[in-house]
Structures are given as structure tokens and as C-alpha cells.
Amino acid sequence: MMKNIFLFLVIFFSLATQAQEDNQPIHVKVTGKGNPVMLIPGFTVPGESWGATINQLEENYECHVITLAGFGGKKPIGFPWLPKVNEALENYIEQNQLTNLTVIGHSLGGTIATWLASRENSRISEIILVDALPAVGAIMIPNFNPENLVYDSPFNSQQLSMNETDFEQMTTGMAQGMSLNLEAQKKIKDWMIMANRKTYVYGYTDYLKLDLREELKNISIPVTIIVADKPFGKEMVTQTYQSQYANLTKYDFIITDNSAHFVMFDKPKWFIEQIQQILASN
């Protein structure tokens, strides 16, 4: 009888622990040794997207690779999604007492890195932002006002009700604009399709609502911004970033030649060289 009770308790607590792990806003994989580097991927993209970068860094750095809830096969969480993700990352850094921390973020990941660095008493010593803006909604929506963005909208309803064939066709077109690399385009499309649909739809609303332009005034650590020149060209890209980051006192700005949004896929050798140089210099 006692043996059965013991077995039941073991199974119960095992399942409870698993359920708790599944219900997390972030999932972290740690490899390597040295000063900590946190790598946050973009929207719908799992931590494995940083694979080539991690392979080059983990010999000298402790890499904390993030996958966000609802992406890469991870369980979704409730909404609002992005505030929970941000808070979980801030708590993770504090609980693990990460010091001399560099955060590298691509796209949404870079926006999150900016948010983390702007927080009071932040432990972050440096951020590297890869094709990332502090207020994406402001360049996508005329008369941008975060208060007007709600989950219950005709556009979101359309996205949620879209059948798999139409959704795949849409994501195929989107992926083609995000990388010049055909193999990478397929990966990007597959990650979009794998994403939990509600997280894809409502999470993007959270992303568009986030406006960190005022919070940039709180950041005094070294910031490097790496941007792609495709499809808009260097002149327009430079104007956009200068406008969006006007409240950031100082930053290094690097434009990638012949690359679309996923710089790490389009210019892998150049990209890792830049990252290693930036980490070594700071």
C-alpha cells in the first residue's frame, strides 16, 4: 500500500513539475563557459536559429539561448504574452545573478533586449541589436497609437480563421522577403507554421503595441545596432533607424551589405566576425 502511495506521489509531482515547465513564458538552454551572453530570437523563431552563432561563441562564453512560449514547439501561455515574456527574462537574469551580461537580440529579440536594458538596476552591460526597432508599430501603422491596438480586431480574426493552405501560402511569401538564402527561407516558413496560432496573432499585437522610444533615454551601456540593407536600401534604413533611436545617446551602427532581415543566415561568416569583435572590444 505504502509503495503504491509513494509511486503515485512520484508520478503526481513529476507531472506537476512538467506542467509547470511547459507553462513558462521562456525556455532557456545554457551551454559553454565564460562571461554570459543571452541570445533572444525574433518572432516565431526558436532558440535553435542561433545555432551557428552559438557554435562559435560557446568555447569562450556561457550562452543562454532563449525560446519564447508558443514558438518552436513550446507550449503557449495566456495573454498578454509579451509582457509576461519580458518579465520572465528580467527575473531569469536576476535569479541567476548574471553579471557582465551581453544580450544579443534579433528583430523582436532586439526589441526585448532594449526593454531589458532600459529597466532600473539592469544587470546588462551591453546589447547587440540585429535588425531590431524600439517601436515597430510606429513604422507600420499610420497615426500610430498603441491604445488602438486590440486583440479583437477584424485583421486578427482573419488570421485566426485562415486555413492551413492559405496560412502556408502567406508565410511562404513572408519568408521570401526575410532572407536571400533559399534554405533559410524554408526554415523561417516552417517556424511560422509551427508557431501556436493564437500566439502568432495576439503576440504580434503585443509586439506592435510596444513603444520603447522614450525608454531609450534610460540606456547608457554600449549598444551596437546591426541592420540589413535589403529591401529598402542603405539611405532609407539609415533614416529609419536614426529616427527610431533618436533618444539613444550613443550607439554603433553597422549596415550589412546584401542581406535581408535574417542577417545571421544571409551573411553568416561576416555576422559571427562582427559579434566576436564587439564582444572582445567591450
The CATH number that applies at residue 167 is 3.40.50.1820
- pLDDT beneath 70, residues of the chain: 1-22
Task: Give residue 22's pLDDT.
Answer: 59
The domain of 83 spans 26-281
Domain total of the chain: 1
Q: Can you give the C-alpha Rg of the chain in angstroms? A: 20
Estimate to the nearest angstrom the gap between the alpha carbon of 108 and the chain centroid. 4
β-bridge mates for residue 128, sequence order: 104, 224
User: By the 8 A CB rule, do 105 and 113 touch?
Assistant: yes
Q: Give the angle subtended at the CA of 86 by the CAs of 81 and 88, to the nearest 5°.
A: 95
pLDDT number for residue 1: 53
- What pLDDT does residue 23 have? 83
Range list of H helices, 96-233 = 108-118, 136-140, 154-161, 164-176, 182-194, 197-209
For residue 35, the cross-strand partners are: 61
What pLDDT does 13 receive?
42
Question: What Cα–Cα distance (Å) separates residue 191 from each residue in 28, 86, 263?
Answer: 18, 21, 17
Q: How far is it, in rounded angstroms, from Cα 56 to Cα 278? A: 14
Note whether residue 11 is domain-resident.
no
| Confidence at residue 12, expressed as pLDDT on a 0 to 100 scale | 42
CA dihedral 151, 107, 49, 121 (to 10 degrees): -90
In a domain, residue 8? The reply is: no
* Whole-number pLDDT of residue 277: 97
In a domain, residue 13? The reply is: no
Give the per-residue pLDDT at 114.
98
pLDDT tens profile 163-180: 999 999 999 999 999 999
Q: Is residue 18 part of a domain?
A: no
| pLDDT score at 17 | 38
Cell representation of residue 28? 532557456
- pLDDT value at residue 14: 41
Phi, psi of 40 (to 5 degrees): -115, 120
Whether 131 is covered by a domain: the verdict is: yes
